A and B are shown apart, each in its own frame.
Chain A
């Protein structure tokens, strides 16, 4: 059973960079069957897709975050990471990493296995 676990600081100061890592166990991020991505949820609000990375390094980013966002993968550690720069209070949220099943037919994807989530608060 594949498991995903987020790690990183729970408190980030405004204007600094939010950095999170997702460690995958029970499977490989080098698999062509999946995307690997991040989704966040501000307190009391709905789900917002942040972005995904494919095993070949291709990335897809939410346009509203693209200028501040980097998602990268480390196959040697079986991890992928999120860096979001110049954060504000609006970036306070629970951040989830998730495996996205990728369709062979049209390359579409959907999150089918989620980490437990980690709360990141942006505050001085």
Chain B
């Protein structure tokens, strides 16, 4: 199972960033999103398509339908600049945990 993300997304502070994750009928799977800042471990920011772990700002939200899942970051801040990865569990293959290639979010 292949997840495709755009290599980069750019947005001005205060605007809304949308990062997509494409996969065949991804809407039938649960999608999870991770934020990774330089030299840090990834942090879960959205799980099961649209839920936020404790401590993650409400500005982070997710959706998933058809062949595209989307991570939306509202009112973007400079501190949101990071790499973002989507992930699914593929029970139909031995490669159970699948990550997208990652998207670099640049805050202009």
A interface residues (Cβ-Cβ under 8 A, vs B): 37, 39, 46-49, 52, 60-63, 66, 96, 100-101, 103, 106-112, 114-117
A107 CA to B101 CA, complexed, in Å = 24
User: In the complex the two chains form, is B42's CB within 8 Å of A110's CB?
Assistant: no
Residues of chain B within 8 A of A117, CB atoms compared: 41
Q: Is B79 an interface residue (CB 8 A)?
A: no
User: In the complex the two chains form, is A46's CB within 8 Å of B32's CB?
Assistant: no
B interface residues (Cβ-Cβ under 8 A, vs A): 30, 32, 34, 41-44, 47, 53, 85, 87, 89, 91, 93-102
Q: List 15 A-B contacts (CB under 8 A).
A: A46-B85, A46-B100, A46-B101, A49-B95, A49-B96, A49-B99, A63-B95, A101-B47, A108-B89, A108-B91, A110-B44, A110-B47, A110-B87, A110-B89, A111-B44
Main secondary structure of the interface of A (DSSP, over half): strand
User: In the complex the two chains form, is B91's CB within 8 Å of A107's CB?
Assistant: yes
CB distance from B21 to the nearest CB of A (A): 13
Residues of chain A within 8 A of B93, CB atoms compared: 63
- Output the residue of A111, A115, A116 with the most chain B CB within 10 A: A111
User: In the complex the two chains form, is A60's CB within 8 Å of B96's CB?
Assistant: yes
A37 CA to B97 CA, complexed, in Å = 10
Residues of chain A within 8 A of B96, CB atoms compared: 49, 52, 60, 109
Residues of chain A within 8 A of B98, CB atoms compared: 49
A39 CA to B44 CA, complexed, in Å = 14
User: In the complex the two chains form, is B102's CB within 8 Å of A47's CB?
Assistant: yes
- Output the residue of B30, B44, B89, B95 with the most chain A CB within 10 A: B89
